[in-house]
């Protein structure tokens, strides 16, 4: 199924999960857009350009079948342009953010294999739980090199679990939760590097 053939259908993940900060539309992540109605976008024909131009990874990547649609898979893949990536990854194409919408659906070996393929080609990989994103490459390199998909999945689960407290927190509570997630990520990376 090629990207142009894929349509959003009943999926409304981007209308809820994403933070939008454009002149024509502003909303925090994890909050439904004010234009979202039971049948989908209530202003679809006149929706803002930020919405018209957005395509999630499922729509962009022809190799992902219908089961990868965000509402079904529990994960929305967001492409990051090379200009937004650390220099180390810019020559490897776009980066990807794994936005976990539903951990029960998303955190499985299929997602672990997808993340591993990205790491193998040196693409930047991040994770989000409708929160600011955390980089994962340093944590994923060793299990990917070993071909250990269960360990890759364990990294994804740990990072997701570390981000969850920041999902609903606000103000200093959110900052503290994100700080702890970053410290947990750095600690796990350092432990992997020890002989």
Alpha helices in the chain (DSSP H): 13-17, 49-52, 57-60, 70-73, 103-106, 109-120, 137-145, 149-168, 171-193
Q: Are residues 27 and 69 in the same domain?
A: yes
- Return the closest-CA partner of residue 21 out of 162, 157, 132: 132
The residues that bridge with 25 in the sheet, in sequence order, are 22
Q: Are the CB atoms for 154 and 131 separated by under 8 Å?
A: no
How do residues 102-118 score in pLDDT, each as one tens digit?
A: 999 999 999 999 999 99
Flag whether pLDDT at 2 surpasses 50.
no
Q: Are residues 100 and 172 in the same domain?
A: yes
Flag whether pLDDT at 9 surpasses 80.
yes
Flag whether pLDDT at 153 surpasses 50.
yes
Q: Are residues 166 and 80 in the same domain?
A: yes
Report the chain's C-alpha Rg in angstroms.
Answer: 17
Global confidence as pTM: 0.85
Q: Are residues 8 and 81 in the same domain?
A: no
What is the band of 167 on the pLDDT scale with cuts at 50, 70, 90?
confident
Q: Are residues 68 and 5 in the same domain?
A: yes
Q: Are residues 66 and 80 in the same domain?
A: no
Name the one residue in this structure whose structure tokens are 């990989």: 125
Order of strands, sheet of 134-135, starting from the edge strand that comes earlier in the sequence:
75-80, 95-100, 125-128, 134-135
Lowest-pLDDT choice from 12-16, 74-78, 191-195: 191-195
Could you give the 3-state DSSP secondary structure of residue 92? helix
> Residue 172: its pLDDT value, please?
67
How do residues 73-103 score in pLDDT, each as one tens digit?
A: 999 999 999 999 989 999 999 999 999 999 9
Q: What is the number of domains present in the chain?
A: 2
Q: Are residues 107 and 176 in the same domain?
A: yes
> Residue 13: its pLDDT value, please?
93
Flag whether pLDDT at 44 surpasses 50.
yes
Phi, psi of 78 (to 5 degrees): -115, 125
Compute the average pLDDT of residues 17-33.
90
User: Which tokens go with 160?
Assistant: 């997701």
Compute the average pLDDT of residues 60-64.
94
- The whole-chain average pLDDT of the chain stands at 88
């Amino acid at each position: 199924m090629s990207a142009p053939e894929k349509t959003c259908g009943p999926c409304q993940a981007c209308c809820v999960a994403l933070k939008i900060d454009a002149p024509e539309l502003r909303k925090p992540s994890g909050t439904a857009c004010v234009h979202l109605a039971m049948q989908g976008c209530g202003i679809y024909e006149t929706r803002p350009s930020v919405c018209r131009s957005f395509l999630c990874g499922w729509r962009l990547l022809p190799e992902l079948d219908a089961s990868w649609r965000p509402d079904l898979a529990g994960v929305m893949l967001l492409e990051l342009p090379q200009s937004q990536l650390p220099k180390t990854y810019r020559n490897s194409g776009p980066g990807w953010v794994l936005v976990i919408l539903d951990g029960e659906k998303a955190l499985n070996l299929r997602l672990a294999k997808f993340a591993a393929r990205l790491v193998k080609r040196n693409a930047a990989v991040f994770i989000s739980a409708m929160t600011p994103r955390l980089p994962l490459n340093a944590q994923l390199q060793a299990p990917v090199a070993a071909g250990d998909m269960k360990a890759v999945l364990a990294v994804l689960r740990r990072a997701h679990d570390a981000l969850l407290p920041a999902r609903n927190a606000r103000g200093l509570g959110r900052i503290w939760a994100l700080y702890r997630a970053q410290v947990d990520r750095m600690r796990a990376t350092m432990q992997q590097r020890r002989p």
